[in-house]
Amino acid sequence: MLSLFFTLALLGKTFGERPFINEADTGIDDVFGNTPAGELIPLDGIVGLPDFDWAARRAMSLANYSYYRNGAGGEWSYRNNLEIHNKFPLRPRAMIDITNVESTLPTTILGHNVSAPFFIAPCSRGAYGNPEGAERGLIEGAAAKNILYMAAFYANLQMEEIGALASDNQTIFRQVYLNQNDTETQDIFDKAAAAGAKAIVYTVDSPANGVRHRAARFGVGSADSSYSYITWDEYARLKTMTDLPIIIKGIQSVEDAQEAVARNVDAIYLSNHGGRQTDGIRSPLEVALDIRQQAPEVFSQIEVYADGGVRYGSDVLRLLSLGVRAVGLGRPFMYANVYGREGVEKAIDLLRQELAWDAGNTGVADLRNISGNLVQW
């Protein structure tokens, strides 16, 4: 009997504690596994967004890759962001004419026309992956494909340089981290407006430094390690300092989403900072689902954006089905930027095609009319 209990315990450990898989095995290692460290595989060898992670990991220095890849603490939130999507299976409908689904991909974000309901989320230190161009590939790739680019506050390029590289009337939002120095804050807002930014992205999900063990090991910790004064009254005061709309990035609860509506916030962005700040917190998908179940009116009262572990078109579908207006991706585009503009453009094309195909295969004829019934929540 003891041997049976011992065997069952071993089986439980074996099957209950499966290893985390950073990306699916699609054969990339079989084809390009002999590529020397420090070299990129051919861009035409990339067939999906996870391939960019694999390629960047081989080509970048370990320290620089770790800055992009790291999560907080034991990295449960990082892993959960990636895995949570497939805990909610899709419910395809058949016998529907989906032949024009690609024409329904364009949308608006705060009134600005974009070609797809996803965007490049703000990520710092573009030069870690592309020492020569830094964020240039992100800017130009987004412009070429007409998607929103959110410029990171700790980008290697200054806002003036980003504005100079942007195409005419390109849709760029400016992420900010702020202190209580009004002179500095006013300068940040004025430079953003002068560079052509269409909105401010006020980051509120990192009021303290993140516990990042992986990053600390390689000396590539948080770009912003100070305590920050972030309150609703402070948001209202900041609104008096610029004519640009101010999006709150980092909403993680129903209560805060409702408070944002009550305070006439311009838009909210559901995010847990890519799982980089606090381990053990929910994914943005779970937050969006919570809002949909407890306060569905929020999605009609304010524009809601979200990110978090998005790697496939089906991930975008799930968030859109809950009422999210546009979906952000950070790490995948930073890995794609290792290839420069061409890599960023390919990443956009791959995700756009996946989104259209996944929509068609699940019976979504019009992404503008997608319903939560698409998913088994």
Q: Which residues are annotated as a binding site for FMN?
A: 175, 203, 249, 271, 307-311, 330-331
Backbone angles phi, psi at 297, to 5 degrees: -65, -20
Annotated binding-site members: 67, 175, 177, 203, 212, 249, 271, 273, 276, 307-311, 330-331
213 catalytic residue (yes or no): no
CA dist., res. 47 & res. 21, Å (int) = 18
Catalytic residue selected from 85, 112, 213, 273: 273
Residue at token pair 């990082």: 78
- Helix, strand or coil, per DSSP, at residue 149: strand
Q: What are the CA-CA distances from residue 365 to residues 85, 190, 245, 301 (Å)?
A: 21, 43, 32, 25
Annotated binding-site members for glyoxylate: 67, 177, 212, 273, 276
CA dist., res. 53 & res. 271, Å (int) = 21
Q: What are the CA-CA distances from residue 319 to residues 131, 212, 365 (Å)?
A: 33, 27, 17
Q: Give every CB contact of residue 136 below 8 A, 6+ residues apart in sequence.
A: 126, 130, 157, 165, 340, 341
Angle between helix 313-322 and 341-361 (nearest 10) = 60
The residues annotated with a catalytic role in the active site are 273
